Amino acid sequence: MNEYRNLRSLFVMGLAVVGMTLSACGGGGEGPPKPPPPAPAEYADKHMPDGYWNNPEILEQGKAIYTGVQNIDVNCASCHGKNGKPVKAGARDFRRTEQMELYSDSVWFWRVNEGVKGTKMKPWKSKLSEDEIWKVIAFEATFGLKGKEYDVATKKWVAAGASGSAPAAEAPAGDAAH
């Protein structure tokens, strides 16, 4: 009888460990997409600089920041993965288009700049300039929003070039003034 209880206890503990592991890792997904809270007033009017979405030069610079090549103190890939697939529990999966489309460019900027309360996502405003944050966001968007850009007028993600912002060819070289 004792042997049966021990086996049953071991089985229940094993199920609990598997359950906790799956929930910590997202259980194969993050569940149904949930809209984020809106950006606070001080961030609501911040938008991607014209010509940054899908601009190869900007994306390369954003990738260097994202992967820690530019600054060893900043390595988004250490949590979010080099291809946008999280490597740490709780990190946002940037490949999930349906989730990514729920975030405006202003919300993304706010989250990167200020961090996300109740998560391990810390604020990066002390390590990155505003321009560097926009470059990282442009690069991150390539995982789940490739070929799209955020249209401020319609508050939706649209095909690149359809938002009325400057085409990628007109993007400023180097850092843009804000």
Predicted confidence (pLDDT) per residue in 101-111, tens digit = 999 999 999 99
Q: How many domains does the chain divide into?
A: 1
pLDDT digits over 55-78, tens only? Answer: 999 999 999 999 999 999 999 999
Residue 114, domain CATH: 1.10.760.10
pLDDT at 171 over 70: no
Q: Which domain holds residue 163?
A: 37-170
Has residue 8 been placed in a domain?
A: no
Has residue 29 been placed in a domain?
A: no
Write phi, then psi, for 150 (nearest 5 degrees): -85, 125
Is residue 139 within 8 Å of 69, Cβ to Cβ? no
Q: Which H/E stretch holds residue 157?
A: strand 156-159
Has residue 28 been placed in a domain?
A: no
Has residue 32 been placed in a domain?
A: no
Has residue 151 been placed in a domain?
A: yes
Instruction: Give Cα separations from 124 to 56, 65, 115, 166, 172 (angstroms).
Output: 23, 12, 7, 27, 23
